[in-house]
Structure 1
Amino acid sequence: MLTSHQLNTLRHDLRMLAHIEYEEVENELLDHYATLTEQKMADGQTFEQASYLAWKALGEGAGLQKIQEDFVANIQQQVARRHWELVKSYFRWPAIVTTLLLCGLVYLLSHTLSYLGVYLMTSGLFVTPGLILLYAVFQKDHRHADARKIVWQYMNSRANLPMMFIQLTNIISASLDEEARSTAIYQSYPAVFMGLNCVLLVYGLTFLQLYREKFSYKTA
């Protein structure tokens, strides 16, 4: 049975030599590392000799890094797959009824709000994923040593997609003359506005749901 000091030494190897940063990977590898070390110590090896041989048997730094890379890829695939499932769920029965009602409400608002109101509502939907991401930053999810960090990285890579649309809209609006700009693209083309805002609304809701879900390594 290894002492606490010896276990900490093995853990230090995993963190500093193999750069293992995820707790789930670290705990699994530490269990194997410690077991191999104990087996070799039972054969008469000192702790230093046994841990060295165990390290070699585990594949050293490169081999252990590959295990961590597989873990990250596995979680990333789960998150991407789940996000797509959440998006599709809003267009399946019976959830599609709620989706259509929300789209209808957006359509009505496009006819009742002023240009400023329409612009502010659209901008709010555009930045919703970013606001959820900002909340995750305040919760320090990007600093966690578990799957939450990978989820945060995925969301960070996807949160900027809506902002690309609003930048494009601003470019188009800036290219119009003063009279055309005053009528606003959103009010001139309510069907386009409704469709865009429905997509943004669903996208924001799926971000919120994705943030609240838990992920762990799954074998095939």
Structure 2
Amino acid sequence: MLTSEQLRLLRHDLLHLANISYSEVMDELLDHYASLTEKWMREDYSFDEASRKAWNELGNGRGILHIQERYKKLLLHQLQLQHWSIVRRYFRWPTLITTLLVGTLAYLTVRAWPSSILSALFFVCVFAPYLLFIPSELRLFWQKQIQKRALLTSLRREVVYRQARYGNYLYLFVIQLPILVISLFFDGTNSRTSRPYLFEWHTALSAALAFVAIMYTLTYLELYTKHSAKGFANA
């Protein structure tokens, strides 16, 4: 069994020689690194010799860093699959009832409100997921800047945050792309930088866009809740 000081030295190797930057990866690799070191120590090697052999087994710094990148890609892929699984569930019984209600709400909203307000609501919906991260951002700021604590980043938090980028894509496609296209065709004479063109064309199209924005927010909120319950650990 390794002592706390020996574990600290192993952690130091991973942190400074392999540049491990995520807390979840650090926990996994430290456990594996310690197990390999203990294995060699049972073969009557000293701690220093055993840790060197274990380090080589892990793949040295570059190999260990590759493990971190592979772990990150795997987690991101799993998260994307989970998000799409949530989306598909909204079109299955009995959640389909909620989906139909959302569609009805979107249609009634489009008929009642002008396009300028609809575009503003669309903006709020697709960027609302970022608001979920404000408490954790403030907590990290306090720990790093005020308490001066050196913390590793939570990989789970980073990939969940990265999934919110699809809201950016929706905004670019629905709001910014039509403005760009019209400015190219009309040389800017009939375009405005904030005009919601797609919301002015047809009620059905506006309702569909509102529906997509609301569904995106609902599914992302469920995804965030699921993973935040597991904890966004920073260590």
Let me know the Cα RMSD of the aligned residues.
Answer: 2.9
User: What code does the residue aligned with 1:96 have?
Assistant: L
Alignment coverage as a number of residue pairs: 208
Amino acid at match of 1:124: L
Change (3 A) 1:110 1:62: same
Q: What's the counterpart of residue 167 of structure 2?
A: 159
Taking the aligned partners of 1:33 and 1:12, their CA distance within structure 2 comes to 12
AA of the residue aligned to 2:207:
M
The offset of 1:172, in angstroms, is 6.5
Moved more, 39-48 or 50-59: 39-48
Matched, 1:202 2:210: no
Q: What are the superposed Cα offsets for residues 87-143 of structure 1, whole Å, 9 maximum, x if unpaired? A: 222222232233223222322232332x2xx42233222332322213314423997
Provide the rounded CA distance (Å) in 1 between the counterparts of 2:96 and 2:54: 56
Letter in 2 for 1:205: L
Contact 2:107 2:204 in 1 (8 A): yes
Which residue in 1 is equivalent to 2:49?
49
2:148 alignment counterpart: none
Q: Determine the structure 2 residue equivalent to 1:100.
A: 100
CA–CA distance in structure 2, aligned partners of residues 95 and 3 of structure 1: 52
Aligned 1:1-150 pairs, distance under 5 A: 1-113=1-113, 115=114, 118-140=115-137, 144-150=153-159
Distance 1:187 1:154 in 2: 29
User: What SS is found at the alignment partner of 2:40?
Assistant: helix
Q: Structure 1 pair 55/190, CA: closer, same or farther in 2 (3 Å)?
A: same
* Paired amino acid for 1:99: T
How far residue 160 of structure 1 moved from its aligned partner, in angstroms, is: 0.6
Give the distance between the partners of 2:211 and 2:54, measured in 1 at CA: 56
- The code of the aligned residue for 2:33 comes to Y
* Distance change >3 Å, CA 41–CA 106, structure 1 → 2: closer
Gapped runs of 5+ residues in structure 1? none
Q: Does 1:192 align with 2:201?
A: no
Asked if the contact 1:127/1:162 (under 8 Å) is kept, the reply is no
Aligned in 2, Cα 1:177/1:77: closer, same or farther, shift over 3 Å? Answer: closer
Q: Which runs of 5+ in 2 are unaligned?
A: 141-151, 231-235
Q: Is the Cα–Cα contact under 8 Å of residues 91 and 99 in structure 1 kept in the other structure? A: yes
On the 8 A contact 1:132/1:208 being kept in 2, the answer is yes
**TM-score, with length taken from structure 2:** 0.75
| TM-aligned CA deviation for residue 171 of structure 1 | 4.7
Deviation at 1:170, TM superposition (A): 4.2
TM-score normalized by the length of structure 1? 0.80
Matched letter for residue 62 of structure 1: R
SS at match of 1:93: coil
